[in-house]
Structure 1
Amino acid sequence: MTFSHNFHIPVMGIGFTVDTPVKVAHYGISSVLSAGDDMLLERLREFYSTKFNFPFTPIHKNEFDKRAKRITAYLDLVNHMVNDKFQELKNASFEKGSEITKYFEMLPDFSTLKKEYLRMLEEKEIEVKSSIQNWLRSNMVAGSIDINIMTKLDRDNYDLKGEKLPIEFNDAHAAVRGFANSTLKSGLVLSAGLNPRLYSYLANFEGFFPNEHNEIDKKVILKVSDYRSALVQGKFLAKKGIWVSEYRVESGLNCGGHAFATDGFLMGPILEEFKQHKNELIAEVHEILNDALEASGRKRLEQPLAMLVTAQGGVGNLTEHQFLTDYYNVDSVGWGTPFLLVPEAVNIDNDTFNLLAKATEDDLYLSDISPIGVPFNCVVGNTKDNERDEKIQSGKPGSPCPSQYLKLYNKEFTDKPICLASRQYQKLKIAELDGKNLTDKAEYQRQYDKITVKSCLCAGLVMTAYTENNLLKTSDGKGISVCPGPNMAYFSKKSTLQEMVGHIYGKNNLLNDTYRPNMYIKELGMYIDYLNKEINNTPAEEVNERKLKYFNSFKNNLLEGIEYYKTMLPKLADKTNWKLELEMYLAKVHLIEIPELVSVN
């Protein structure tokens, strides 16, 4: 499929971008929504059905396969709304201020559509002008409505009798089924790493396979943090007959939301590896795919299917955007965090907006609040964490766990998993801590804080979708979690969609006056801080051969990355102090002391 733009809006939280396609897809802008919370999707489906007079039949909580059905119903509605808006836009007249004019004005100047549009504006002959307009209308495309599933959030589910349901009713499996059964022809973004059972489940749905025209209706988009991970996952899926249509490379730390850090592999060297080995990746996976297709009774493909490489994480200006597309041959660039200041495109309440607009570098940090144990990008002062702290102060830490989506792994005290942010878990864990009778008050507080720092992300990350659409119930609470990347410090202005798209393509500048290192230097600094924190948080008695190998490998990867940047960054030709910063960070890496093994007598 040909796209109008070479940027996309990644998934942000749950509620922030859950209906972003309805707001931007008709302008040719692709975006990603989360299928994590089917209760949210059901409430939004009712909201939009009422707003636009569509028929609505509720899918009740006790209905068989409710999660998959709710996801399918919501995606079908979104698809319907986007198609309606796109057709209406296409039928508009080419006059100042019209929707079709807005569509073309936002396009990048290098696109064929934009060039033809500009030619049409200059054309004086009415018949020729009309002919160009007809061509433009017939070649316009809507943005893709892509769906994100975190592969590890695959909670077991139970029937009304408390019996465990088969694995296909697990959360992520049901979400795959919901997408597969929808009318969408778009991408399924699989993030958070390889889940063999989930990946194998994709082969149950014909939409993930090439059709008779060698096209795939339901494309797989893998979010990866390095080349090796991409190769392993791509091969695994190919053995099931599933082609990965896009590898979406995301910075391990310089991003919003959960941060899946690499072992010190930096964005530049990772993208270089994709650039150098893309053809090899295509050929290797294509051969495996063909064998799998033949084994399943399908025809072999004469030519490999299309494979895109895209990138996201910390991009902030045209120079960086173009370097990704021109030097690394990236097909599309993800712009996430800056769009949190574009209310036209996302769900964002005034208080959270103001918090983000005023956020400085010191306010944005990598936190331990996520119950799934993965570092989570956060901002000081978000109201969900304030709510959590008030509960701690009142002596009642923990969440009542209203949504329960993160009841995934922990069975320390129970037969069924419970969430680390829940009141149930924290009460039990604190009782266990009290039973240790620690005399060191500082150590007690450290362990207590480690328990109670977890925040209820299920509730916090959906909240703005409720507040901004007047859907809030008393039982929803009030606290809002927001998960911007570090890039938030450099954007402060409320922007329209056209202004933000203009910034992306260099037509205007939305950066504030704060000095901003380029995206590669910023990430490098974050990785140095991350390694230092990992080392400092490892007690001497826990240092073993495996840990030492990890620390040394991490440090060496950083050093290799710095050497790479010495030759790459001059090509970027930006106006930051990258040379000085690179030397400073090189010195910092050399100063990192790797701990030694403690000898046991």
Structure 2
Amino acid sequence: MQTTNHTFSIPVMGTGHSIDSPIRVAPYGISSVISIVDDLLIEKIRKFYCRKLDLPYNNIARNAEDGRAKRITAYLDLVQEIVQDKFEKIKNQPFFEENDKAKYFELLPKGSMPRRMYDRLLETDAGKVRDKLACELSRLMRPGSIDVNIMAKVDGLNYEKNGTPMSAEFSDANAALRGYANSKLSSSLVLSAGFNPRLYNYITEFKDFYRDATGKIKKKIILKVSDFRSALIQGKYLAKKGLEVYEYRIESGLNCGGHAFASDGYLLPSLLKEFREKRDMLSKTVRPLVEKFYEDEGAGFSEEWEIMEPRLTVQGGIGTSGEAQRLLDDFGMDATGWGSPFLMVPEATTVDKTTRKLLENAKEQDLYLSGVSPLGVPFNNVRNTGSEAWHQERIEKGKPGSPCPKGFLEANTEFTEQPICTASNQYQLLKLDQINQMDKDEAEKENMRQKVLDKACLCDHLGNGALIDLGILKEHRAPQAICPGPNIAWFDRTYSLREMVDHIYGRGESLVSSKRPHMFAKEMVMYVDYLEDLAEQADGNKGELRKLTKFRKNLEKGIEYCLKIADSESYKGENLASISQTAAEQKNRIVEIFKKIEEK
């Protein structure tokens, strides 16, 4: 797998919004990530592209043997075929014309070697030197990587028609992994949402994740992590099995899209500082374990194999070229991930027009950390989506919850032997009846009811925007959910791919207002908000108090580090002044929060 010349990538966004992003951007050398959680959505997208491009299509039925894995393999192979075809057509275009080949090179960062060569080409007179330079430039072109994402903890067991549990290889995560492993792709598997030993052990079944005779790895592993300790533990666990981590993808716990996995008060700058200072441990600690594995296997570990230390990348709330540059230069990151802003780029993502208009008009107060996820994990959301309206209508009709058409998030066994989803109609009716019979005051019961009714059908609704955008489903038949980070409030219209990439690299006028708070300032506020919620829920026991005190200590230490950053020289477009102002406000808020705790 070739590394890209770009210093950013497009992360996974929901189950549907980046479902075909590689088809859109990989021919231009930009890497992106597809979610392979929803194989039923994937099958519909595969059918759409086969029909659109007049390619053969054979339906893989829902009840087909190993259907989940086969659907994923078939789609990924199709994406590879489409991307390669589009890329070759661009590669074969002539230079010195306003075409996609010019766009490919003009999108590259100014400092990259191919971009410098391209600029030199444009200044070179016709002749053998220019022809040789043009030939070399075409040879250097590479498509972006077609990466896939598996949420490690979304790994429900499946059942035969008679109710007998199927073997572990047919669990949701394992089947998705098998679908990717059997594909023709040479790319990366992004593992997110926690550590799953069963899934990690299953990776060892597939040779593409190991070095071949030349030392190359066809399918690489990327771990999305929230702290250094977790990265090291998981890296060592995999290394003992001979599996190497190609990249650690660090994400802000709260200032991100989708599910929010909050840390114990560790702000992103503090986490990045630790990664920067201990980076060599990720390779020095792990390499001997990998070498031992190959020695034990008999083939041995060749000294001729090229061993690179794992890449470090970061994502979550980045909004200006200056913020990205600080992450690259000051913290030594190899690349950045830009998610939510690309929801406003129709050339890159599938978002229906109604939802995109909702995002265009969304203000900071419309973006919130919600309780809609059946996983019980806070979920970044925006108010007034089609999904929200659909659920409210069902509540008013006395039919709360969803019929649960896909069941990927079935995990609750409170009322049933087989797991069901907390967003399902079945669960919500049972839970509401239980609450109604409780010996509690009405206000407390109403609060409990609301938490039950908040749960939404993310399995189905997160993919509907793609189906509407591609014309597969009509809007009235497909309630749309979307999961932007709060950063989206500052991107208030649709943009071309060129506009967004130029913004990322600081070329031309910024797409966001100079008043936009720095990403570090925004994260501060979100963590103090989160601390306040924890404090309100606490019942005052000593264990909870210790937890809150630890959270406060880490948070205050992080704020002090942010203040040091605020005193440094700013990069282009950085609103460092907002960090100092926000820090003062949030430190006062923390004092007030703990005063209330003491009063309790």
Map 1:20-419 → 2, pairs under 5 A: 20-302=21-303, 304-408=307-411, 410-419=412-421
- CA displacement at 1:572 relative to structure 2: 5.4
Aligned-partner Cα distance in 2 for 1:133–1:514: 40
Q: Which moved more, 1:440-449 or 1:526-535?
A: 440-449
Match among 386, 411, 432 for residue 430 of structure 1: 432
Aligned-partner Cα distance in 2 for 1:277–1:450: 41
Would you say the 8 A contact 1:27–1:103 is kept in 2?
A: yes
Q: Look up the SS of the partner of 2:492 in the other structure.
A: coil
- CA displacement at 1:384 relative to structure 2: 0.1
Aligned-partner Cα distance in 1 for 2:87–2:530: 45
Q: Look up the SS of the partner of 1:593 in the other structure.
A: helix
- Residues 587 and 210 of structure 1, relative CA distance in 2, 3 Å threshold: same
- CA displacement at 1:563 relative to structure 2: 1.9
2:531 match: 531
Q: Which moved more, 1:583-592 or 1:398-407?
A: 583-592
- CA displacement at 1:187 relative to structure 2: 0.5
- CA displacement at 1:483 relative to structure 2: 0.5
Q: Which moved more, 1:151-160 or 1:188-197?
A: 151-160
Aligned-partner Cα distance in 1 for 2:171–2:357: 38
Aligned-partner Cα distance in 1 for 2:283–2:587: 35
Q: Which moved more, 1:569-578 or 1:99-108?
A: 569-578
Would you say the 8 A contact 1:516–1:576 is kept in 2?
A: no
The one-letter code of the counterpart of 1:496 is S
Q: Deviations over 1:544-601 (max 9, x none)?
A: 34322221111000111112222233335134422222222222223331777999xx
Would you say the 8 A contact 1:207–1:218 is kept in 2?
A: yes
Q: Which moved more, 1:344-353 or 1:578-587?
A: 578-587
Would you say the 8 A contact 2:535–2:597 is kept in 1?
A: no
- CA displacement at 1:340 relative to structure 2: 0.6
Would you say the 8 A contact 2:461–2:479 is kept in 1?
A: yes
Aligned-partner Cα distance in 1 for 2:45–2:597: 55
Unaligned runs of 5+ in 1: none
The yes-or-no answer on 1:487 pairing with 2:484 is: no
- CA displacement at 1:471 relative to structure 2: 1.3
- Residues 482 and 88 of structure 1, relative CA distance in 2, 3 Å threshold: same
The one-letter code of the counterpart of 1:387 is W
Q: Which moved more, 1:16-25 or 1:511-520?
A: 511-520
Q: Which moved more, 1:563-572 or 1:34-43?
A: 563-572
Would you say the 8 A contact 1:548–1:594 is kept in 2?
A: no
Would you say the 8 A contact 1:535–1:594 is kept in 2?
A: no
Aligned-partner Cα distance in 2 for 1:547–1:297: 51
Unaligned runs of 5+ in 2: none
Q: Look up the SS of the partner of 1:249 in the other structure.
A: strand
Q: Look up the SS of the partner of 1:462 in the other structure.
A: helix
Aligned-partner Cα distance in 2 for 1:504–1:581: 24
Q: Look up the SS of the partner of 1:592 in the other structure.
A: helix
Aligned-partner Cα distance in 1 for 2:373–2:518: 28
Would you say the 8 A contact 2:177–2:203 is kept in 1?
A: yes
1:497 match: 497
Aligned-partner Cα distance in 2 for 1:313–1:275: 18
Question: Once superposed, what is the RMSD of the aligned Cα atoms?
Answer: 1.8
How many residues align? The count is: 593
- CA displacement at 1:55 relative to structure 2: 1.5
- CA displacement at 1:482 relative to structure 2: 0.7
TM-score with structure 2 setting the length: 0.96
Aligned-partner Cα distance in 1 for 2:423–2:302: 48
The one-letter code of the counterpart of 2:251 is E
Q: Look up the SS of the partner of 1:571 in the other structure.
A: coil
Aligned-residue identity in percent: 45
The one-letter code of the counterpart of 1:208 is F
Would you say the 8 A contact 2:465–2:481 is kept in 1?
A: no
TM-score with structure 1 setting the length: 0.96
Q: Look up the SS of the partner of 1:33 in the other structure.
A: strand
Q: Look up the SS of the partner of 1:222 in the other structure.
A: strand
The one-letter code of the counterpart of 2:455 is K
Q: Deviations over 1:444-466 (max 9, x none)?
A: 21111011110000111000121
Q: Look up the SS of the partner of 1:204 in the other structure.
A: coil
- Residues 335 and 329 of structure 1, relative CA distance in 2, 3 Å threshold: same
2:551 match: 554
Would you say the 8 A contact 1:86–1:142 is kept in 2?
A: yes
Q: Deviations over 1:418-460 (max 9, x none)?
A: 000000000000111111154x221121111011110000111
Aligned-partner Cα distance in 2 for 1:396–1:160: 27
Q: Which moved more, 1:103-112 or 1:558-567?
A: 558-567
